[in-house]
Copies of this chain bind each other. A is one copy, B any other.
Amino acid sequence: MDLILKPVAHYHGPFGSKFGIPRQSLLAAVEGRIVFTPEFRVREALRGLDGFSHLWLIWGFSANRETKGEWQPTVRPPRLGGNTSIGVWATRSPYRPNPLGLSCVELVRIDDMELIVKGADLLDGTPIYDIKPYIKYADSHPDADSAFAEKAPEHKMEVVIPESIPLSPEDREILTGILSLDPRPAYQDKPGREYGITYKGEDIRFRVENGCLTVISKDKLL
Residues of A near any B CB (own CB < 8 A): 1-8, 24-26, 40, 42-49, 51-54, 56, 58, 60, 62, 71, 73-74, 85-92, 96-100, 102-104, 127, 129-152
Q: Is the interface of A mostly helix, strand, loop or mixed?
A: mixed
- A3-B4, A144-B140 in contact; A42/B73 too (CB < 8 A)? yes
Is there contact, CB below 8 Å, between A136 and B127?
Answer: no
Cβ–Cβ contact B146 & A58, under 8 A: no
Q: What is the minimal beta-carbon distance from A102 to any residue of chain B, in angstroms?
A: 6
Cβ A137 vs Cβ B24 within 8 A: yes
The residue on B at minimum CB distance from A25 is B138
Closest to A133 in B: B90
- Decide if B3 touches A127 in the complex (CB within 8 Å): yes
Q: Which of B40, B53, B98 is A144 in contact with, Cβ under 8 Å?
A: B53
Q: A2 to B149, alpha carbons, bound, how many Å? A: 31
A134 pairs with B146, CB closer than 8 A = yes
The answer, among B7, B60, B88, B136, for a CB contact under 8 Å with A146, is: B136
Given contacts A86-B47, A133-B90, contact A145 B52 (CB under 8 A): yes
Q: Are A98 and B1 in contact (CB under 8 A)?
A: no
CB-defined A-B contacts under 8 Å, sample of 14? A3-B98, A40-B71, A40-B97, A44-B74, A44-B85, A47-B85, A51-B146, A51-B148, A52-B90, A52-B147, A53-B141, A53-B145, A102-B130, A137-B149
Chain B residues, CB < 8 A from A2: 4-6
A152 to chain B minimum Cβ distance, whole angstroms, is 5
**Are A134 and B141 neighbours in the complex by a CB distance under 8 Å?**
yes
Instruction: Check A140/B137 contact, CB under 8 A, given A46-B89, A97-B8, A147-B52.
Output: no
Chain B's nearest CB lies how many Å from the CB of A94? 12
Are A98 and B5 also in contact (CB < 8 A) when A91-B133, A133-B147, A140-B142 are? yes
Q: Which residues of B contact A48 (CB under 8 A)?
A: 86-87, 90-91, 147-148
Distance between A146 CB and nearest chain B CB, rounded to angstroms:
5
